[in-house]
């Protein structure tokens, strides 16, 4: 390759970098719009959406103060319930589906194959298919509180997790477990001190996928929980609209900003794992 084509190639690369940089800036703009409007007085949000909150538009922290009790429900309470539900559901899913997946992969009986097939099948069933009967069943069994809803999440979300764990367990050589068994470990000990630590990479991938799903999920909790008592973040934000005649957009943006800050911090600190988890979860097709 001669010098001329090389420099031409460098030029295209530079141009492409510039174009992508511009697209990147455009990509961040919506989030930036949330930031500037959360400091803007409500009346200006609609008319001067893209102006900086200067002069008379500046609202200081009043939107945030108002947001704390906005919508007849304390904001921090919905944050608390979102955290409880997300952590409990993810922990429950990771523990029990990995146990079941190990059993399915190692015993591999007809019964196991049937359960595995059912799990794969459940992944193509849209939530609308079961939402009515599921919420009635959950009500009847008193699973309608933040402390019991993780069981519903375990049930509806088991499919993908088991699918991913079974795939990984099958790739682990059996010799390690044999050695543990010869050394006198029973199945429980073998699982918890030998298999469980080896599952770490898949645990992280499944954990990330479940956290992203449960944290952002709106429909399942709104149908299962008693929303006068318990609201998660997405429910809270959706119900801001119904609580007043007109929405206070400034306060809404303040709450949206507060709710995406932890997500962005989480993303930037675990980016490597998140991207890997998403790529691993996508193979379900």
Partner 1 sequence: MESKKRSPIARFFKNPLRRWCWLFMGPVLAAFAIGFVWPFFQGIYLSFCKFRLIRDAKFTGLSNYTAVFADESFRHSFWYTALFAVVSLVLINVLAFTVAYLLTQGLKGSNVFRTVFFMPNLIGGIVLGYIWSMIFDGILSKYNTSILLETKYGFWGLIILMCWQQIGYMMIIYIAGLQAVPEDMLEAAKIDGATKWQTLFKVTIPNVMPSITICTFLGLTNGFKLFDQNLALTAGQPFIIQADGTVIKTTEMLALNIYNTFYGSSSTSPGVAQAKAVIFFILVAGLGLAQLAFTRKREVQN
CA atoms of 40 and 63, how far apart (whole Å): 8
Check: CB of residue 180 under 8 Å from CB of residue 190: yes
Residues from 221 through 240 that contact partner 1 (CB under 8 A): 233-234, 237-238
Q: In angstroms, what is the minimal distance from the CB of 3 to partner 1?
A: 18
Q: In the structure encoding, which two tokens stand for residue 219, read together?
A: 């429909």
Each residue of 1-21: b (16+ CB within 10 Å) or e? eeeeeeeeeeeeeeeeeeeee
Closer to partner 1 by Cβ: residue 21 or 69: 21
CA atoms of 285 and 270, how far apart (whole Å): 25
Q: Which stretch binds partner 1 (CB under 8 A): 54-62, 71-79, 198-206, 251-259?
A: 251-259
Residues from 196 through 215 that contact partner 1 (CB under 8 A): 212, 215
Q: In angstroms, what is the minimal distance from the CB of 69 to partner 1?
A: 19
Q: Which stretch binds partner 1 (CB under 8 A): 59-67, 69-77, 197-205, 254-262?
A: 254-262
106 binds partner 1 (CB under 8 A): yes
Indicate which single residue of 8, 16, 76, 261 sits in contact with partner 1 (rule: CB under 8 A). Answer: 16
- Give residue for tokens 């455009």: 26
CA atoms of 66 and 250, how far apart (whole Å): 9
Interface size with partner 1, residues (CB under 8 A): 96
| 3-state secondary structure string across 244-281 | CCCCCHHHHHHHHHHHHHHHHHHHHHCHHHHHHHHHHH
CA atoms of 113 and 246, how far apart (whole Å): 54
CA atoms of 248 and 228, how far apart (whole Å): 21
Q: In angstroms, what is the minimal distance from the CB of 73 to partner 1?
A: 15
Q: In angstroms, what is the minimal distance from the CB of 249 to partner 1?
A: 6
Q: In the structure encoding, which two tokens stand for residue 146, read together?
A: 């933040």
Q: In angstroms, what is the minimal distance from the CB of 55 to partner 1?
A: 18
Q: In angstroms, what is the minimal distance from the CB of 221 to partner 1?
A: 11
Dihedral of alpha carbons 58, 264, 212, 196, sign? negative
Residues from 130 through 189 that contact partner 1 (CB under 8 A): 130-134, 136-138, 141, 143, 151-159, 162, 174, 177-178, 181, 186-188
8 binds partner 1 (CB under 8 A): no
CA atoms of 156 and 130, how far apart (whole Å): 9
Q: In angstroms, what is the minimal distance from the CB of 285 to partner 1?
A: 4
Number of Cβ atoms within 10 Å of the Cβ of 276: 15
Closer to partner 1 by Cβ: residue 80 or 266: 266
120 binds partner 1 (CB under 8 A): no
88 binds partner 1 (CB under 8 A): no
Residues from 33 through 52 that contact partner 1 (CB under 8 A): 33-34, 37, 45-47, 49-50
Indicate which single residue of 99, 120, 194, 227 sits in contact with partner 1 (rule: CB under 8 A). Answer: 99
Check: CB of residue 195 under 8 Å from CB of residue 44: no
Closer to partner 1 by Cβ: residue 83 or 115: 115
């Amino acid at each position: 390759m001669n010098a001329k084509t090389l420099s031409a190639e460098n030029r295209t690369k530079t141009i492409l970098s510039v174009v992508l940089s511009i697209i990147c800036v455009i990509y961040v703009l919506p989030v930036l719009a949330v930031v500037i409007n959360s400091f803007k007085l409500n009346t200006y949000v609609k008319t001067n959406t893209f102006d900086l909150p200067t002069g008379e538009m500046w609202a200081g922290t009043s939107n945030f103060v108002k947001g704390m009790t906005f919508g007849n429900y304390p904001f921090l309470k919905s944050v608390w319930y979102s955290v409880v539900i997300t952590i409990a559901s993810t922990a429950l899913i990771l523990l029990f589906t990995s146990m079941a997946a190990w059993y399915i992969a190692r015993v591999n009986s007809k019964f196991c194959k049937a359960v595995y097939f059912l799990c794969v099948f459940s992944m193509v069933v849209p939530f609308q298919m079961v939402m009515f009967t599921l919420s009635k069943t959950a009500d009847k069994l008193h699973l309608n509180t933040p402390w019991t809803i993780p069981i519903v999440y375990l049930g509806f979300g088991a499919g993908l997790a088991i699918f991913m764990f079974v795939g990984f367990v099958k790739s682990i050589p059996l010799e390690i477990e044999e050695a543990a068994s010869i050394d006198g470990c029973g199945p429980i000990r073998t699982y918890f001190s030998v298999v469980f630590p080896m599952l770490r990479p898949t645990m992280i991938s499944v954990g990330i996928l479940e956290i992203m799903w449960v944290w952002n999920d709106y429909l399942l909790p709104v149908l299962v929980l008693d929303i006068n008592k318990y609201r998660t973040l997405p429910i809270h934000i959706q119900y801001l609209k119904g609580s007043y005649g007109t929405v206070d957009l400034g306060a809404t943006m303040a709450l949206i900003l507060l709710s995406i800050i932890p997500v962005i911090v989480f993303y930037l600190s675990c980016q490597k794992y998140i991207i890997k988890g998403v790529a691993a979860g996508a193979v379900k097709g």
